[in-house]
Structure 1
Amino acid sequence: MELGLQNKIVLVTGSTAGIGKVTAKCFLQEGATVIINGRKQETVDRVVNEFSNLGKVYGIAADLSKQDETRKLTEAIERIGELDVLVNNLGVFEVKEFEQVTDEEWIRYFEVNVLSAIRLCRYFLPKMLKRNTGRILNLASEAGIKPLPQMIPYSMTKTSLISLSRGLAELTKGKNVTVNSILPGPTWTEGVENYMQGAAKAEGQDLDTFIQDYFKVNEPTSLIQRFASAEEVANTIVFLASSKASAINGTAQRVEGGIIRSL
């Protein structure tokens, strides 16, 4: 299917690893011009070099939890061209008891997971509306609808992104601009693999058995009873950014294998 992404300029935040990195690769394979973002220049450069044979790719290092760093990013993008697709993928999470999360950690969650997306939407959405073209995708989570007790700050910030996306979509009425959130479920990334290996070792189980038990015990409502691949999530993001998805606006698109048991 031709997705109409040839030469579109795409920013994927937090794209040096995980879902963000795979999403950037998928956009490049569709002929888009992609901007890689991460906090460290050497990490950004490494991904740019890795993807350089796939198409036109730029790298901009910036800590988007900080206002001045965000400004540096937007100024650099303006020198590249007009942004067509914004994918707010940046996010952090940690498994921690609710009562142990400090005020400083709560603020950090908000700055990284929510305020980074707000700043970029505030900058790029008006420009997209003026040009009457553009796509914004905010990476939320199934935890934004089904909060995880061991990850309450993460869950709360993902709920915020779902609300942000729907609110911004209301501003696009009659325009060829869409804003949607994406709700991945458990997804197999480098970070998840490292966590699961450590957890399996602590329980004295091999990784495959531990994962099978994990879904039976912790995610019994999952219909696929496995981790989604980063490619499965990325393919959904890329489709929603395409010309084929112009009627999909204001949605919270689930890619969570049926964990959320509701219509």
Structure 2
Amino acid sequence: MKIDLTGKTAIVTGSTAGIGLAIAQGLANAGAAVTVTGRTQARVDEAIATLEQKIPGASVDGVAADLGSAEGCQTLIEAKPSCDILINNVGIFGPKDFFEIPDEEWQQFFDVNVMSAVRLSRHYAQGMKARDWGRIQFLSSESALNIPAEMVHYGMTKSAVQSISRGLAKVLAGTQVTVNAVLPGPTKSEGVGKMIADIARQQGISEVEAEANFVKENRPSSIIQRVAEVEEVANLSVYLASPQASATTGAAMRVEGGIVDTMA
């Protein structure tokens, strides 16, 4: 199967590093014209340079905006009024005791992880529906189903985007616009890599040992028994963005290494 996205335009939010950057690279490799986003122009420029170096001739540009606000989403919309593929990847996470999470932090997680996707999907889905072709993805997480006690506020947002994804797929029923959620598990993103490096430094062990211990202690049901590579998540995302995935919609597609102990 050869995925060809030539002539398609894609926006990947939160794509200056980690899973988002890997998805942007995968889409560009398949021929899509890709827009990356980040909070600062410097990070956006760095991501564009990285993609152009890895994929000579790729069509890549970027928009700097804080998508955790309505104003930031509007900045992106004004810069890029339409797209064929929208990947709602931007998000924040971090462990914190439930009893110590203030209202402001709950709101921040909701604004960044959920409302950014709502605002952008609300806009771009209308153009996709009018053109009768499009792909929308919401980056959820196994934490949407397996709510982590140390990150209840994060798990809540990932459950929310999964619900929105399913509902929006129904809103677009009968069209050639598909909407899906992608559920990664622990993945070697920038944030997770830093966390593992910190654990290794604190415990005086190698990062390989720290990673293995993290999976064993925090995700013992993992079948692959390791942290996934960002490219492994991106591969699924690129497939879902392709014409070949035309009958896959309203789905929660898992790429979490078997952590969630169900077959459905």
TM exceeding 0.5: yes
The reply to whether residue 59 of structure 1 matches residue 83 of structure 2 is no
Could you list the structure 1 runs, at least 4 aligned residues long, displaced by more than 4 angstroms after superposition. Answer: none
Greater CA drift, 63-72 or 28-37: 63-72
| Alignment partners' CA distance in 2, 1:206 and 1:51 | 30
Q: CA deviation at 1:200?
A: 2.2
SS of residue in 2 equivalent to 1:161: helix
| Alignment partners' CA distance in 1, 2:249 and 2:51 | 30
Q: CA deviation at 1:208?
A: 1.9
- Gaps in structure 1 of 5+ consecutive residues: none
Equivalent in the alignment of 1:4:
4
Q: CA deviation at 1:206?
A: 2.4
Equivalent in the alignment of 1:131:
131
SS of residue in 2 equivalent to 1:71: helix
Alpha-carbon deviations, 1:224-263, whole Å to 9, x = none? 0001100000010000000000000000000000000012
SS of residue in 2 equivalent to 1:60: strand
| Alignment partners' CA distance in 2, 1:214 and 1:41 | 34
| Alignment partners' CA distance in 2, 1:170 and 1:28 | 29
AA aligned to 1:115 is: M
The reply to whether residue 164 of structure 1 matches residue 130 of structure 2 is no
Equivalent in the alignment of 1:205:
205
- Gaps in structure 2 of 5+ consecutive residues: none
SS of residue in 2 equivalent to 1:254: strand
The reply to whether residue 183 of structure 1 matches residue 186 of structure 2 is no
Alpha-carbon deviations, 1:88-139, whole Å to 9, x = none? 0000001111111110011100000000000001101111111110000000
State the superposition RMSD in angstroms: 1.1
AA aligned to 1:151 is: M
Q: CA deviation at 1:216?
A: 2.2
SS of residue in 2 equivalent to 1:258: coil
Alpha-carbon deviations, 1:203-234, whole Å to 9, x = none? 23222222222222221210000011000000
Same amino acid, percent of matched pairs? 43
The reply to whether residue 17 of structure 1 matches residue 17 of structure 2 is yes
Greater CA drift, 239-248 or 213-222: 213-222
Q: CA deviation at 1:73?
A: 0.8
Alpha-carbon deviations, 1:23-68, whole Å to 9, x = none? 1011111111000100101110111122225201111111111112
Equivalent in the alignment of 2:110:
110
SS of residue in 2 equivalent to 1:205: coil
AA aligned to 1:213 is: N
Greater CA drift, 193-202 or 120-129: 193-202
Count of matched residue pairs: 260
Equivalent in the alignment of 1:230:
230
Q: CA deviation at 1:191?
A: 1.6
Q: CA deviation at 1:172?
A: 1.6
AA aligned to 1:251 is: A
The reply to whether residue 149 of structure 1 matches residue 138 of structure 2 is no
Greater CA drift, 213-222 or 17-26: 213-222
The reply to whether residue 75 of structure 1 matches residue 68 of structure 2 is no
